[in-house]
Amino acid sequence: MFANFAIAQNMSRHIELTVQQGKWIKLNLEADAANTQIKVECGTYDTTLIVGTDWIGFKNYYAQASTMRVYGNINKFDCSSNGSKITGLNVSNNSGLTYLACDNNNLSSLDITNLTALETLYCYNNNLSSLDLTDLTALMFLNCFNNNLSFLNITNLTALESLSCFGNNLSACALDYLFHRLPIRPASNKGRIYIKDGTNGTNPGDSTCCDTIATNRNWKVLDYNGNINIVNTNYACIMANPLWVGGVEVTSANASNITGEGITGSVSYIHGTNTLTLNGATITKGKTDGDGEVAILSEIPLTINLIDENEILNSTYPKNYAGILINQSDIPLNITGDGSLNMDVKSSSSGYCLGIFASSNPETYLVIR
């Protein structure tokens, strides 16, 4: 009779694990609401549980196949400390998840796209080489230490407060790139980023990165013994200065000749002066930003030098489109040179149509010569 009043498992929401067949996998979980049915399925074996809004405690489930699925409205999920028995995890089909612990496994893949409600992620002590956390706007606490990460994308993690990423393969350039994407915190409530731990692991670049990039955004750069003070001015790390042209990110490898499907003519960038030169260039594509595209998207002070006739055209109409967007507050845009720039940035009737947007104070931060 109790089961008759239970909320049936939602088969459209599920978590998928790649597991070792023939092993017992321990899981702990919590549901969105009281009396929620959850189904754990692996091969022909399945178990149905009635779960409430408290952790049920770790229970063991037999892996009859190499794929295990957990169906239902799960709010919190913990599959930590299964060691080599779990090698992959895809939680992208459970958008209501607010808490995920998958540490101390052997994960080489982790798909956490679409988790816009996720607040806490523990995936430290695995075998991850990349981790894309783009647009997880509710995420506050991230532990991803002791993996094989050489790149960490935290774009648009606006709620982030604490990040532990020591014990990876992050170079100085990759750390600076990471620092640039940290959200600006209140001075009264600074964020904490742990990039070094002498006991449990370090990153190759943790002694030569530029920590002032993070501290200027009100983040403390730490190891577990206290603050780290590192200011490096001996190298230029272009990938730490986010700039996209025609949907292509500008890096040290392509700065002298930026090419792509949406770029014709000559486009180049000089790091030392933050100067982007358009020489007879036509840009028809952009980087996705919100619900549209931006032809030139910068998160740094930028000078655009115009040579000959140049164009920015919307080839994806009626998709929303913008010409030039400075994506941080109170940083300048200078447009100079003897050339010209024509922009046609049509948008859908309900969307934005921006030619040039530079901060919230164009009189101060936009200069055209």
Domain membership of residue 331 (yes or no) is yes
Residue 198 in domain = no
Whether 177 is covered by a domain: the verdict is: no
Domain for residue 104, yes or no?
A: no
199 in a domain, yes or no? no
Token couple for 6: 């239970």
In a domain, 123, yes or no: no
Query: What is the spatial distance between Cα 114 and Cα 313, in angstroms, rounded to a whole number?
Result: 31
Instruction: Please tell me the distance from the alpha carbon of residue 160 to that of residue 140, in angstroms, as a whole number.
Output: 4
Cis peptide, bond prior to residue 332, ω within 30 of zero: no
- Does residue 198 contact residue 166 with C-beta atoms inside 8 Å? no
> What is the residue whose two structure tokens read 């014990």?
167
In the block, tokens 């709010």 appear at 75
User: What is each CA distance from 84 to 17, 20, 65, 126, in whole angstroms?
Assistant: 12, 8, 15, 9
* Enclosing H/E stretch for 172: helix 172-180
Note the pLDDT of residue 4. 46
pLDDT for the residue 234 = 52
- pLDDT given for residue 47 in this prediction: 94
Enumerate the H helices of 145-244 as residue ranges: 172-180, 212-215
Distance CA 166, CA 196 (A): 5
Owning domain of residue 255:
241-368
- pLDDT given at position 46: 92
Tokens of 261: 């499907």
Q: For residue 64, what pLDDT is reported? A: 96
C-alpha 259/C-alpha 63 separation (Å) is 48
Task: Identify the CA nearest to 27 among candidates 13, 12, 42.
Answer: 42
CA–CA separation, 334 and 281 (whole Å): 18
Q: What is the pLDDT of residue 287?
A: 86
| Total domains in the fold of the chain | 1
What local confidence, expressed as pLDDT, does residue 241 receive? 56
52 three-state secondary structure:
coil
By DSSP bridging, strand 243-245 and strand 109-111 are: unpaired
Residue 112 to residue 115: CA distance in whole angstroms: 6
Q: What is the pLDDT along the chain (369 residues), one digit of tens a residue?
A: 344 456 667 888 999 999 999 999 999 999 999 999 999 999 999 999 999 999 999 999 999 999 999 999 999 999 999 999 999 999 999 999 999 999 999 999 999 988 999 999 999 799 998 888 888 999 999 999 999 998 788 888 999 999 999 999 998 878 888 898 899 999 999 999 999 987 788 898 888 888 888 888 899 998 877 777 666 655 555 445 578 999 898 876 788 899 999 999 999 998 667 799 999 999 998 888 766 788 998 877 789 999 999 999 877 666 677 889 886 655 678 899 999 999 887 766 555 677 887 755 454 455 665
Measured CA to CA, the distance from residue 63 to residue 42 in angstroms comes to: 6
Residue 176 lies in a domain: no
Beta-carbon contacts of residue 72 (< 8 Å; ≥ 6 apart)? 9, 10, 13, 14, 31, 36, 37, 38, 39, 51
Task: Count other Cβ atoms within 10 Å, centred on residue 22.
Answer: 11
Domain membership of residue 254 (yes or no) is yes
